Structure 1
Amino acid sequence: MSFLEECWEEREEKAYKQIFGDTGLGIYPLSTEIFNRMNADAVDPRWLTHGVFKCPPTENRKTWAYITSGMSNPWEAESPEDYSGQGVEFLMETNEEEMWAVEVLQTLMAYNLLLFAGKIGDYPPLDYGNRVPLTLSAGIKTMMFTQPINFPKSFSIKSGRVDLLQVVGITPAELEFAKKASSDELKELIVTNTGGLFTSKDRVSVV
């Protein structure tokens, strides 16, 4: 087994199962159609091995969790580094099982892969505090990236560290608040008012 394969397996079979428990029936992989919607000039075949796991509730967690897998692949490395691959994976939480959560993370992951490859201008990859326009419903029109509160902020595999960036859908009023204050201040308001960082199509604005 290659270094890449060992690290890939360690992430999905050990780290993810320790953090999320059951990772579902399998991965929901990215497709060329997702990249086509972003007018991508070319798709790296390796990107189509990336995807999202849908993790059901456990004894210790009542929510559904959705976690990307692939951005932390050490494609170019043959030994440990500070961060594994891009050093991130994206996470979302919902109170009910939702297929749209998988689709949101697939879209954001594809977008981040294009950013990382420099195919969408000179912009850095997605990170904590970033807010991305993505309409989920009439009330939720933006996805905000923040540190999780119910999951570890990071984990390590033999190829390096991986940060977990949690995605939470926010309302237009919350977006305006975050622009004037900060994403961190909005995060605290959401947690205080709702008890967590759950994404819902019909969540009432906290501002």
Structure 2
Amino acid sequence: MSFLEESWEEREEKSYKEIFVDTGPGIFPLSNEIFDRMNAKGVDPRWLTHGVFKCPPTSDRKTWAYVTSGMSNPWESEDPEEYSGLGVEFLMETENEEGWAIEILQTLMAYNLLLAAGKMGDFPPLDYGHRVPLALSESIKTMMFIHPVNFTDHFSIKSGRIDLLQVVGITPAELEVAKQTSSEEIKQKLVSITGGLVTSKERASVA
């Protein structure tokens, strides 16, 4: 196997199995339609190998976990570096099995790939603390990127380090507090009041 293939396999077959145990029925890949909705030009065909795994609850975890795979592929390298590829993958938790969780992460991953490729203006790739307007419902209108609490926030494979950025949906009131203070402030309120970082379509605001 190539360096890319070995790194890819290590992430999905070793690291993800250690972190999430069961990665579900297979990957839900990105599609051209997702990029079309963003009016993206010059979509790299390699991006269509990226996708989302749906990980069911385990004996130690009651939530469903959804995790991206592909942004950390070392496409341009044949040697280990500090970070593998873009150095990130995204994670979301839900109470029940939810198809929209896959769609949210696919959209955010496509957006991040376009950002990293310089196709969305002069903006940096998504990172901890960032907030993206992406409505899930009338009450959850923004996706916030934070350090996980029930999962490791990073791991390493042979090609380098990968940060796990957890995505959690927040209310308009929570967004305003996050703007005035920080994303970390809202994260701490969510954890203390709700017990975790689960995303749901409807919940009471903690702000």
Q: Normalization by structure 2: what TM-score?
A: 1.00
Q: Quote the offset at 1:145 in angstroms.
A: 0.2
2:152 corresponds to: 152
Deviations 1:139-178 (A, max 9, x none): 0000000000000010000000000000000000000010
The residue that corresponds to 1:118 in the other structure is 118
Question: In the aligned structure 2, how far is the partner of 1:131 from the partner of 1:122?
Answer: 16
Partners of 2:10 and 2:157 in 1: CA distance:
7
What is the distance in 2 between the residues matched to 1:12 and 1:6?
10
Q: Deviations over 1:90-115 (max 9, x none)?
A: 00000100010000000000000000
Q: What is the aligned-residue RMSD (CA, Å)?
A: 0.4
Counterparts of 1:88 and 1:14 in 2: how far apart (Å)? 17
Counterpart-to-counterpart distance in 1, 2:182 and 2:45: 37
Q: Deviations over 1:59-85 (max 9, x none)?
A: 110000000000000001101000000
Where 1:88 maps in the other structure, the secondary structure is strand
Q: Partner of 2:85: helix, strand, or coil?
A: strand
- Give distance in 1, aligned partners of 2:167 and 2:187: 11
* 2:31 maps to 1:17: no
Q: Do residues 80 (structure 1) and 80 (structure 2) align? A: yes
Counterpart residue number, 2:45: 45
- Specify the alignment match of 1:186 in structure 2: 186
Aligned residues: 207
Equivalence for 2:205: 205
Q: Structure 1: which 5+ runs fail to align?
A: none
Residues 169-203 of structure 1: per-residue CA shift (max 9 Å, x gap): 00000000101111001100010000000000011
Secondary structure of residue in 2 paired with 1:189: helix
Runs of 4+ deviating beyond 6 Å: none
Secondary structure, counterpart of 2:155 in structure 1: strand
Equivalent-residue separation in structure 2 for 1:79 and 1:144 (angstroms): 32
Corresponding residue SS for 2:107: helix
Matches of 2:203 and 2:111, distance apart in 1: 25
Q: State the distance in 1 between where 2:149 and 2:31 align.
A: 30
Identity %: 76
Q: Distance in 2 between matches of 1:41 and 1:51?
A: 20
The whole-number CA distance in structure 2 between the counterparts of 1:56 and 1:23 is: 7
| Secondary structure, aligned partner of 1:101 | helix
Q: Distance in 1 between matches of 2:76 and 2:161?
A: 15
Q: CA deviation at 1:42?
A: 1.4
- Matched with 1:56 is 56
